[in-house]
Amino acid sequence: MSEAKMVFIGGAGNMAGAVIGGLVASGYPAERIVATGRNEQKLADFAAKTGVRTSTDNDAAVAEADVLVLSVKPQMMKELCQSIAARVVERQPLVISLAAGIPLAAYRRWLGAGVPIVRAMPNTPALVGTGVTGLYAGEGVTGDQKQVAQKIAEAVGIAIWVEEESGIDRVIAVSGSGPAYYFQFMESMIDAAEKAGMARADAERLTLQTALGAAKLAVASDVDVGQLKRNVMSPNGTTERAIQCFQSGGLPELVERAMGDCAERAAEMAKELDN
């Protein structure tokens, strides 16, 4: 896989940019990666930051791709696919789509039925090597190609395969969109601490280090997160009071609803496609 020429369409965007940043940081040769986009200044800044090659010419980039990663916004995917379809059919790269809400059936219509496609649902912590990627392989993807997709994902974090395509929507609800849930929680904590009189810089430092510490402890620990939570709660103590407030305010139900809405939106996006 170290020899594979990887082309990322939309490579300087938030998601592909994070994956590329993580790949380069993990030692993947930057000269084997091409990031395409439309905005030349954005591409130049991205090239300066990562060392990868950039291009505004999707078709020329596809012509040299062994692995082709599609990472434009879902609403732009159809037009993009149709514009590169001839080149994709000719070159036959392994196609990996990062887009939420676009089923494999749509790519088969837009790119041609025989193109091997993997759907991947990564998340932005890929940038710091702590990503999560859910993977689903369509028909015609070989074992070797699955290995390639998995190795790319594992270069920037952990990867799991889902058995059914709908599993990707569940991955979106947990890990694809998940970083934003934690950022929201951190933002709320920082705002609340500042309101209570703490300097914002201190509130940020304490909140971020607490999130990092809690996540590291949870990953390293062999007890579940419920027990880790109880370990912080002294009977009739301060934490208990705060946790009671979250629970009586409906936080568990709210989280369940938000994740349900998230997955539902992915399914809805698939229905909105106009073929």
Ligand X SMILES: O=C(O)[C@@H]1CCC=N1
Interface residues with ligand X (CB under 6 A) are 100, 172, 176-177
Strand intervals (E) in the chain: 6-9, 33-36, 53-55, 67-70, 94-97, 117-121, 131-137, 157-161
How wide is the angle at C-alpha 64 spanned by C-alphas 7 and 68, nearest 5°? 30
3 state SS for 160-176: EECCCCCHHHHHHHHHH
Residue 36's binding partner out of ligand X, ligand NDP, none, with CB under 5 to 8 Å set by partner kind: ligand NDP
DSSP 70-105: E-S-HHHHHHHHHHHHHHHHHH-PEEEE--TT--HH
Give CA–CA dist 158/160, Å, rounded. Answer: 7
State the nearest-atom distance from the C-beta of 55 to ligand X, in Å. Answer: 24
Instruction: Check if the beta carbon of residue 66 is closer than 8 Å to that of residue 6.
Output: yes
Per-residue DSSP letter, 2: T
State the nearest-atom distance from the C-beta of 177 to ligand X, in Å. Answer: 5
Closer CB to ligand NDP, 13 or 93, in the complex: 13
Residue 132's binding partner out of ligand X, ligand NDP, none, with CB under 5 to 8 Å set by partner kind: none
State the nearest-atom distance from the C-beta of 154 to ligand X, in Å. Answer: 19
When asked if residue 73 is in the footprint of ligand NDP (CB under 6 A), the reply is yes
215 contacts: CB under 8 Å, gap ≥ 6:
none
State the nearest-atom distance from the C-beta of 80 to ligand X, in Å. Answer: 16
Closer CB to ligand NDP, 168 or 203, in the complex: 168
Closer CB to ligand NDP, 94 or 120, in the complex: 120
Among candidate residues 186, 193, 134, the one with its CA nearest the CA of residue 165: 134
H or E, element range at 199 = none
When asked if residue 135 is in the footprint of ligand NDP (CB under 6 A), the reply is no
Residue 58's binding partner out of ligand X, ligand NDP, none, with CB under 5 to 8 Å set by partner kind: ligand NDP
Closer CB to ligand X, 112 or 179, in the complex: 179
When asked if residue 33 is in the footprint of ligand NDP (CB under 6 A), the reply is no
Closer CB to ligand X, 138 or 169, in the complex: 169
Residues that bind ligand NDP (CB under 6 A): 9-10, 12-16, 36-39, 42, 58, 71-74, 76, 80, 98-100, 121-124, 176
